[in-house]
């Protein structure tokens, strides 16, 4: 029997699993899965597939099947949190715990949805991710990171530049179509960890507090001097929070 639960960590938009490169060594003694979403290496995998985060949530279930894992802690950052909430809604019996980092449970506003769809169209018409580098990347990182960690800024830009534009467009449309997941959180039957960077302006500390309040059994951790991407901006505090949560789950399962 495994000592601690298996954990699946899902990446943010518009990044890839490379965003976990600093966290994985810090949790080398844990069984972590950090998959790319379909379309990262082979954008044709999304051809003919209606954009929906449910597709990506079901891919997580298939990953667990392949690994021979019945239940796992599933979590993610930003879009990864949206996928994790879709997994909680569609596969509740397979969830051992939920991790929601710098994300929101609410659906997009009409204005937010229109903005996503406009960017999706621009990605497809341009055939490159310039619009993301110009309009999305600046908001992903906290002020402290921008001032003191230029290497993180460059790393984020490099990861975003590796994403196929048609894949990023599919992701945008999938996020635009997502429902409000707050009802799912209110009926969550497993513990949850909610993490937020203190300088996140996209999914704010207030958003995180609202999610933690909605979940019957949740703990809220704020990461100082980090924006929307704590695993890249402050990997040690993020890993510490995740380790403590997994240890708690392991202890309660004994």
Sign of CA dihedral 122, 128, 134, 140: positive
Note the pLDDT of residue 219: 97
Give the Cβ contact number of residue 121 at 10 Å. Answer: 14
Give the Cβ contact number of residue 9 at 10 Å. Answer: 25
Q: What is the pLDDT along the chain (254 residues), one digit of tens a residue?
A: 446 799 999 999 999 999 999 999 999 999 999 999 999 999 999 999 999 999 999 999 999 999 999 999 999 999 999 999 999 999 999 999 999 999 999 999 999 999 999 999 999 999 999 999 999 999 999 999 999 999 999 999 999 999 999 999 999 999 999 999 999 999 999 999 999 999 999 999 999 999 999 999 999 999 999 999 999 999 999 999 999 999 999 875 44
Rounded (10°) CA dihedral 95, 100, 101, 103: 130
Q: What's the whole-model pTM score? A: 0.96
| Of the candidates 51, 49, 39, 55, the residue with the CA atom closest to the CA atom of residue 90 | 55
Instruction: Determine phi and psi for 222, rounding to 5 degrees.
Output: -105, 130
Note the pLDDT of residue 4: 78
Q: What is the CATH number of domain 7-253?
A: 3.40.50.1820
Q: Which residue ranges make up each domain of the chain?
A: 7-253
Note the pLDDT of residue 1: 41
């Amino acid at each position: 029997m495994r000592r601690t639960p298996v954990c699946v960590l899902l990446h943010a938009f518009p990044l890839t699993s490379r965003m976990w490169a600093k966290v994985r060594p810090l949790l080398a003694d844990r069984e972590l899965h950090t998959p790319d979403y379909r379309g990262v290496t082979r954008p044709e995998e999304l051809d003919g597939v209606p954009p929906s985060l449910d597709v990506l949530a079901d891919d997580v279930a298939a990953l667990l099947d392949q690994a021979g894992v019945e239940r796992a802690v599933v979590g993610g950052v930003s879009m990864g949190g949206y996928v994790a909430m879709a997994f909680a809604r569609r596969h509740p019996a397979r969830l051992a715990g939920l991790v929601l980092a710098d994300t929101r449970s609410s659906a997009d506003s009409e204005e937010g949805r229109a903005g996503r769809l406009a960017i999706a169209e621009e990605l497809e018409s341009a055939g490159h991710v310039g619009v993301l580098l110009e309009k999305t990347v600046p908001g992903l990182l906290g002020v402290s990171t921008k001032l003191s960690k230029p290497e993180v800024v460059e790393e984020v830009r490099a990861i975003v530049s590796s994403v196929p534009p048609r894949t990023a467009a599919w992701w945008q449309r999938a996020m635009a179509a997502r429902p409000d997941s707050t009802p799912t959180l209110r009926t969550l039957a497993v513990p949850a960890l909610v993490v937020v960077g203190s300088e996140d302006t996209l999914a704010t500390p207030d958003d995180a507090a609202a999610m933690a309040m909605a979940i019957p059994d949740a703990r809220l951790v704020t990461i100082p001097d980090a924006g929307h991407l704590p695993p890249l901006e402050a990997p040690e505090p993020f890993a510490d929070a995740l380790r403590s949560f997994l240890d708690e789950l392991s202890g309660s399962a004994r």
